[in-house]
Amino acid sequence: MAAKRIAGIYLAAGSSKRMGFQKLLLPSPQGIIGTAALKTAIKSCLDFIIIVTNSILLSSFQMFNHNDKCHIILSPDSDKGMSHSLKAGLKKALDLHVDAIVVILADQPLISETIINHLIHTFRKREECLFAASSFNSLIRPPVLLSSKLFPEINNLVGDEGARRIIRREYLHKGVITNYQQEELFLDIDTFQDYLLIKKLMRVK
């Protein structure tokens, strides 16, 4: 039996309204913040990575066009919320005939290759698994893997709803959630103080 094909949907199209400027362009020890988690995803066992971005950030991701795993698409309605970018990524995933997607957020630069690969391996070895997710303090955190059986649910999302919204519905007991003790793995950037902390942690990573 052929291995299940899995695509990462890398969400990098947000407008950074809370920050007041485009946070994904902030510098880090590994380049700009917005490409850090992408570089981790490329090293993982994902078969494809769909980079969903906007016209402002497009040039920052063009260098990844040369990677066979990567597909770059624009989300024209990204300003209407995360769900629109996720749907844009799903459309490309359907073209690639994948069995699952892993939703990865560009503003979580400390996410590890180990976490992504654990989601993939969990899904591939469990026939009835509809999702695989990570958690900290009993709260589900991205990245999240969704089986193709849940793809129709993505089209029902609105505004800033994401993959976790689907899991919280009637599917909570139809997947696998792995709890982690390291909060820093899931830190995201909502404020400039978040950025300074994450930048410091990236230096010692």
Tens of pLDDT, residues 75-94: 988 878 888 999 999 999 99
108 with 13: CB under 8 angstroms?
no
Tens of pLDDT, residues 143-186: 999 999 999 999 988 888 888 888 876 777 889 999 999 989 99
Q: Which fold has domain 6-203?
A: Spore Coat Polysaccharide Biosynthesis Protein SpsA; Chain A (3.90.550)
**Dihedral sign for Cα atoms in the order 14, 51, 42, 126:** positive
Domain ranges of the chain: 6-203
Closest CA to 103 of 49, 60, 139, 34: 49
Locate all alpha helices (DSSP H) within 126-191, ordered by sequence. Answer: 151-154, 163-167
The burial of 59, by beta-carbon neighbours within 10 Å (0-12 exposed, 13-18 middle, 19 or more buried), is given as exposed
Closest CA to 149 of 100, 85, 89: 100
Is the omega angle on the peptide bond into residue 143 within 30 degrees of 0, that is, cis?
A: yes
Q: What is the DSSP string of 108-119?
A: -TT--HHHHHHH
Tens of pLDDT, residues 2-54: 679 999 999 998 777 677 678 999 999 889 999 999 999 999 999 999 999 99
